[in-house]
Structure 1
Amino acid sequence: MTKSSRSSRVDGEVTRARILESAGRLFAKTGFAETTSKAIAAEAKVDLASINYHFGNRAGLYQNVLAEAHRRIISLDDLLKIAARDEPAETKLWSFFAILVDAAQAGRGWQSGVLAREVLSPSSNLQVLFTEEVQPKLAVILGILSEITAIPASDPALVRCLISTAAPCLMLLVASNGLPGPVSHVLTMPKQQLTSHLHSFALAGLKAIAHECSATDAL
């Protein structure tokens, strides 16, 4: 590869990253429907052709912004590393909560804002986010919950456990974008205390459901 081609590739990566960051800030502020490609181009100091070149169109850019936001809050690599640790599943669950509490309390800039808007007012792009980013991560978390409860990952009961475990974290991330009410006050708790509460509450529920399933299987 020549020096010129390497330089062009680096320049292209820098431009792509600048567009992504600029779009993230605008999507977080005004939402997908109200954010034009022209506004994004002006914010990123590029022409409209650059957006189409790197992302295809505005919808493609938005899907990339959603995926990047989700990865920055919790990446699949982070979850896989947690799952692979030689430690009790209960400790792995603690680590999962700690990452999300840290993300919610830190705010994570435009990332939490973009995801909060998409959760509160879903667009047609949500399915892409779920398929490409969320679903693989949920599979890892299901594995951890299965370790804790001894409920097979394919059992609908474990899916219900997953929803009950993840929902409070989702609310915290939404609240980190300035949502008023009691959830925003919870975010002011010390990180260790909040993580401990989520962990204890989830474990109690998981153990209760595990007991119910065990009793049912024994009949």
Structure 2
Amino acid sequence: MSTQKTTPRGPRTDGEATRARLLEAAGQLFSQQGFAETTSKAVAQLAAADLASINYHFGSRNGLYQAVLLEAHRQLLDLDDLQRIAGSALNPEQRLYELLAGLVQRAQQPEAWAPRVLARELLAPSSHLQVLMEEAIPPKMMAVAQILSEISGIPATEPALLRCLLSVAAPCMMLIVIGRDVPGPLQAVVQGPSQPLLAHLHRFAIAGLQAVGEDYRSKPAAKNVGAV
């Protein structure tokens, strides 16, 4: 009597597929309707999953929304991509260009739900924003700060560099918030070719970083208090 070796079943793979479908479905619905108007039942139906699978994979509807926020931030600015850019052989100005290029490209994608989810959360912040501030943003800030430090000559630990980071990030955040469907004169900028917009953001950031860096170096007595 011969014995036949059986292949183990893969519940983990099936579970990961279900989790991915729920995350994608929730991202689409949260981006269209917002967190308050999106029910767990609607997410489960769109994902072709059992309602109980939301609690199984995410603990609750709140946990699902937090996972969507983290995934949206990852799609917009992936830590692995950021670290690859930060550690590349490109000069600091070129690394900043690559970083801005990725952000502009993703923010302008009309079918992407990640920018819209983040835009809703930024415009009407909830307690769930804390998950981004604690888990997603700090390591990415460190990588970006290192690039800006090399361009400006300001140490990454100085408050002056944090203000520079805010100035560089703010236009990108604005692109996310207004989206491609914004009415009025900004529509031509947001929906237009990405290259002129990218070139402007990069040139503006470089000029500002260099100017603040020169000011910082010209005031050695003020460095310790960050008065730039």
TM range (shorter): over 0.9
Output one character per residue of 1:41-71: Cα deviation in whole Å (capped at 9) or x when no partner.
Answer: 2222222211000100011101111111111
Identity %: 53
Number of the residue aligned with 1:3? 7
Residue 200, structure 1, aligned to residue 178, structure 2:
no
Q: Distance in 1 between matches of 2:155 and 2:44?
A: 48
Aligned 8 A contact 1:151 1:158 in 2? yes
Counterpart code for 2:199:
S
Q: How does 1:53-202 map to 2 (within 5 A)?
A: 53-176=56-179, 178-202=181-205
- Confirm or deny that 1:48 pairs with 2:73: no
Deviation (angstroms), 1:149: 0.9
Distance 2:186 2:196 in 1: 15
| CA pair 118-177 structure 1, distance change in 2 beyond 3 A | farther
> Do the aligned partners of 1:79 and 1:140 also contact (CA within 8 Å) in 2?
yes
Cα distance in 1 between the residues matched to 2:59 and 2:97: 40
Q: What residue ranges of structure 2 are gaps of 5+ in the alignment?
A: 1-5, 223-228
- In structure 1, C-alpha distance between the alignment counterparts of 2:50 and 2:33, rounded to whole Å: 21
Unaligned runs of 5+ in 1: none
Q: CA deviation at 1:198?
A: 0.3
Partner letter of residue 196 of structure 2? Q
Matched residues in 1 for 2:164 and 2:183: separation?
Answer: 27
CA distance in 1, matches of 2:71, 2:191: 26
Output the aligned Cα RMSD: 1.6
Aligned twin of 1:23 = 26
Shift of 1:74: 1.6
* Cα contact 1:90–1:148 (8 A) shared by 2: yes
List per-residue Cα deviations over 1:152-204 (Å, max 9, x = no partner): 11110000000000000111122225233443321233222111100000111
CA distance, structure 2, for counterparts of residue 165 and residue 136 of structure 1: 17
TM-score, length basis structure 1:
0.93
Q: Residue type of the partner of 2:187?
A: S
Structure showing greater radius of gyration is 2
Whichever residue aligns with residue 183 of structure 2, its letter is P
| Distance (Å, rounded) in 2 between the aligned partners of 1:124 and 1:85 | 36
Name the residue aligned to 1:13. Answer: 16
Deviations 1:11-68 (A, max 9, x none): 1111111111111111111111221212212222222211000100011101111111
- Report how many aligned residue pairs link the two structures: 217
- Kept in 2, the 8 Å contact 1:101–1:191? The answer is yes
Q: TM-score, normalised by structure 2?
A: 0.90
1:182 and 1:214 map into 2 onto residues whose CA distance is 39
Query: Does 1:212 find its partner at 2:202?
Result: no
Distance 2:64 2:197 in 1: 35
C-alpha separation in 2, matches of 1:47 and 1:130: 31
1:108 Cα deviation from its structure 2 partner: 4.9
